[in-house]
Structure 1
C-alpha cells in the first residue's frame, strides 16, 4: 500500500506531538513524586507555628476531640486524629475537608494549612483530575515507564558495559551518555517505581480479573483477601473513648509507632475507630487495630501476619515513597527520583537534538521542563504565603509558559528566561516566608526546605551562566 507524502508527514507530526505530550505527563508525575517523598516535612514547613511534641495528655486530648467530633459543622463520614510521631510530631484533628493542630493538652492551636502539600500529592496521584480518572491515567503512565525501561535496555545491548563511560563531543552525545548512565545506575529503583506506581491505579483491574478467575466474579472475596473488611458493630454513640485503646496499644504493641486514628462511618450508628500502628522492622504501612466507640477491642486487620500477598500489597506504599528508614531512605529516594526526572528529560532532548531543525516542539518542551518547577514555586507563594488555593496558580503558570513558547524564539533564549524567572520566584518565596514566619525558616522542617530552595536557585544560576556563555541549545 502506498501512502501520500502529506499523509506520512501528518502522521509523523502527530506521532511527535503525542510523544511530547506523554513525556510531559510522565515528567510531571516523576517530578512531583520526587518532592512528595518529603510530604510530611513540606506539611510542617507550610505551617511552622504549630506546637511540636511527643508526649501529650490523653484525657485532655480525648475531651477536646469529642468536642470537635460533636460539632455538627465538623462531622464527615471519616474523622481523623493524628498522633505525634517522628515524622510529624504534632497532634491534628481533621475531617475530610480541613484540619487544625492542637497543643499537648488538647487546647486549640493553629489551623492546619496544608493546601500546597496536598496539591503536590494530588498532582502525583491524580494530576489534579477527578480521582477515579486521574489514578488510572497515572498508573497507565507507570506501565508505559516500565515498558520504556525494558525496551531501552533491549535496544542498547552495551548499556551495562558502558555504564561508566563518558564521551566528549556534541550536546547530543552529552545527553545520550547522561541518559544511559543514569538509567543504568538507577535501574533497580526505576523498575520498582514503575511497577509500584502502576499498581495503585490498576489494583481495581487486578481485583476484577482475580475475582473472575478464582472467585466466580465475587470481587468482595478478593478484596477481603488483601484488605480486611469492616467489623460489624451495633449502634454506637458519637462520643469516643481513646484512652482505653491507647492503653491497649501501649500494653500489646509497646514498640509500635502510633500514626493516627480514623473514625469510620462517623455520620452513622455503625461507626468505629481504627488505629494505625507502624511495626518496627516491618515494611508494611501499619497494623490496624479496631475498637468500638467505647474503646472495646474488636479485632486486628492482620496485615503483619496475614497472607503473604496481603502483606506485600500493604507494603507497596512505603516501598514506593521511601518511607521506611527515616531520613536516609528519603534522601536516597529523592536523589533517585531526580535521576529518573533527568532520564525523562534527557530522553526527549536526545530525540530533539537528532532533528535537523528547531520548531515549536522544542520550545514547548522547554516550557514543560522549566515551567513546571516555576509553577510549583509560584503555587507555593500562593498556598504558603497568601493561603490561597494553589492548584489554579500551578496550572495557570504552566499554561502561560506554554503560550509564551509560541511567542519567544529561539529555545535557548526562552530557556534562560524561564530559569531566571525560577530564581526570582525562589527568592520571593524565601523572603516572604522569612518575613511572615521569622526564624522558622532556619530551624526544624523549615531548614530542610529553605536549604533545598537555595540549592535549587543555585542550580538554576549555574544553568543560566553556562547557557549564556555557550549560547547554544535547542532542548529542555
Structure 2
C-alpha cells in the first residue's frame, strides 16, 4: 500500500508538472523580472537617468501637485480624466496622464503621458515610448496576445497544477533536507535530478507562497459564486461594496470651477499626517460632477490596495474614504496580494524575491530536461525518439533558451530603435516575440546538444555586449555608474555580465563530450588494452 501510494504520487508529480511546465516557465520567468519592473523601465528610459531623486515629503509633493494641476488645466481642460503619478524611490519622474473625452461609438478617449523633472519641472522632451518592465509584468498573467480572460484562466490552471506538483513533490521526497546539500556533477539525468531537488527545496517556502497567492489574486474570477448569489452577478456593486471609494459618476456637462487645491490638501494631510502620496486623479475636471482622488503610497507596507480619499473637486467635500482598519478577510486577501506582487519589498527583500524566482525557473527547467534526458538514456542507440519525446525536447529548447534570447533582443531593440519610430513600444514587444518564434521554429527541426551550445554562446555574446552598447549610445557606462553610486544602472550592467558569464560557462560545458560518452570511451580503451 505504501509503495503504491508513493508510485501514485510520483506519477502525479511527473505528469502534472510536465503538462504545464513550459507555460509555468514563462510565468515564472516574466514574474521574476517583474519584481524589478520599475528598475527595468528606468533603464529603458535614458531621459530619466539624469534626474536627481526627490524624497516624497509633504512640501515637495504639494509643489508637484500645484504645478501638475496648473499644467493640466491649460493643456487638457476638457479631458475625461487626469492622473498625476508622483515620483518615488523607484520612479524618479513626475508623470502626467490625460485621457481625452469619450467619443460616442468609439469607447474611451486617447491617453497621453508627459514626464517632467520633479526638481526643475522641465518636460523631458527626449522621452521615448517603451514597454519597459511593464511588458514582463503584464506578460506574467495576461500572456500578451491572448484574450485577457482566457489568459488568466490558463495562468490559474497552470498555477493550480504547480501547487499540486509542489505538494506531491514534498510527499515523495524521502530525503528533503539532504537534497538541499546534494549535487553530483557529471552523472547525466542524476545531475539534473539533483539540480531539480536543490532548486525546489532551497526556495520551497517561496514557491508555495508565490503559487498560492497567485491563485488568490484572481480568486473572484475563478470562484464568482458568492458574487453571483449575494449581488446577483453585479460585479460593479460588489466592487463598490468592497471599496466605497470606487464610485462611478457620469459627466453632467455643466461647467464648474475646481476648488482651491490648498483647501483639499489640508484635509488630506489632516487625515494622513506625514504620509507620502502615490498618485492623484481628477475625473471630469471643470464639470459639476468632477471628483479628485488621492492614493497613499503602500511601498513599505504589506498592503496592495492603497488607502484612498475621494473629494468633490468643486466643493472640496469628502465623498468617500477607505476604512482605517480592514476586516479580517479583507486584511488576509489584501496581504496575500501584496506578498505576491512584492511591491512592499525593500531592495534586499526584492533581490531575495528575484533569486527565489530564478530558483523556480531552474526547478521547472531542470524537471523538463530531466524527463527527456531519462527517456534518451534508456533508449538504444539505433532507436529513434517518439513524437512525444521530440515535442518535449523542442519545447525545452524553445522555452528555456528562447525566452532569455528574446529578452536580450527586446533590450537591444530598446537601445537601437529611433525615438521617432511609429508605435515604438509595440515594435520592442514584436522583436521579443519574433525572436522567440524563430527559436521555436528552429527547435522543431534541430534540438540536439549543438543547438543548446550555440544558443548559449549567442545569449552570452548578446548580454556581454549590452553594457558596451550602453556606453556607445548613452553618456554613461558601468564604471561611471559605480562611481556615481547609481545602483540601478550599475546593477543592470552587472546582471547582464553575470548572465553572459553563466552562458559562456554553459557553452564550455556543452562543448565537452557528455560524461557518459567519456566513461564509455575510457572503458573501451581499457578493454582494447587488456
TM superposition score normalised by structure 2: 0.77
Residue 409 of structure 2 is aligned to residue 372 of structure 1: no
The Cα of 1:263 is off from its aligned counterpart by 3.2
Partner of 1:252: 271
Correspondent of 1:142 among 159, 168, 181: 159
The yes-or-no answer on 1:88 pairing with 2:105 is: no
Q: Secondary structure at the match of 1:228?
A: coil
Q: Are the equivalent residues in 2 in contact too, given 1:379–1:390 (CA < 8 A)?
A: yes
Match of 1:340 in 2: 360
2:180 is paired with a residue whose SS is: coil
Match of 1:28 in 2: 26
Q: How does 1:155-304 map to 2 (within 5 A)?
A: 155-160=172-177, 162-167=179-184, 170-206=187-223, 208-214=224-230, 219-220=235-236, 222-231=238-247, 235=252, 237=256, 242-264=261-283, 270-278=289-297, 282-285=301-304, 286-294=306-314, 296-302=316-322, 304=324
1:406 partnered with 2:426: no
Cα distance between partner residues in 2 of 1:187 and 1:303: 35
Kindly state the Cα deviation for residue 338 of structure 1 after the two structures are TM-superposed: 0.4
Q: How many angstroms does 1:397 deviate by?
A: 0.6
Structure 2: 5+ residue stretches without partners: 1-13, 55-59, 100-110, 380-384, 518-530
- Per-residue Cα deviation, 1:37-90 (whole angstroms, up to 9, x for no partner): 0011111111132334423634323211323433x6xx4x55321112122132
In the aligned structure 1, how far is the partner of 2:260 from the partner of 2:452? 58
CA spacing shift, 1:23–1:244, aligned 2, 3 Å: farther
Residues 96-135 of structure 1 aligned to structure 2 (within 5 Å): 97-104=111-118, 105-110=120-125, 111=127, 113-128=129-144, 129-135=146-152
Q: Which residue of 2 aligns with 1:306?
A: 326
Greater gyration radius: 2
Match of 1:448 in 2: 491
> Partners in 2 of 1:379 and 1:85 — Cα distance?
26
User: Secondary structure at 1:390's aligned position in 2?
Assistant: helix
Aligned residue number for residue 423 of structure 1: 460
TM-score, scaled to structure 1: 0.85
Deviates more, 1:454-463 or 1:235-244: 235-244
With over 3 angstroms needed to count, the CA separation of the structure-2 counterparts of 1:271 and 1:373, relative to structure 1, is farther
Deviation at 1:167, TM superposition (A): 4.2
Offset at 1:20? 5.9
1:40 to 38, 41, 54: 38
Deviation track 1:276-306 (CA, whole Å, cap 9, x = no partner) reads: 2135863113211212324725245425512
- Structure 1: 5+ residue runs without aligned partners? 1-14
RMSD value over aligned CA atoms? 3.1
**3-state secondary structure, aligned to 2:124:** strand
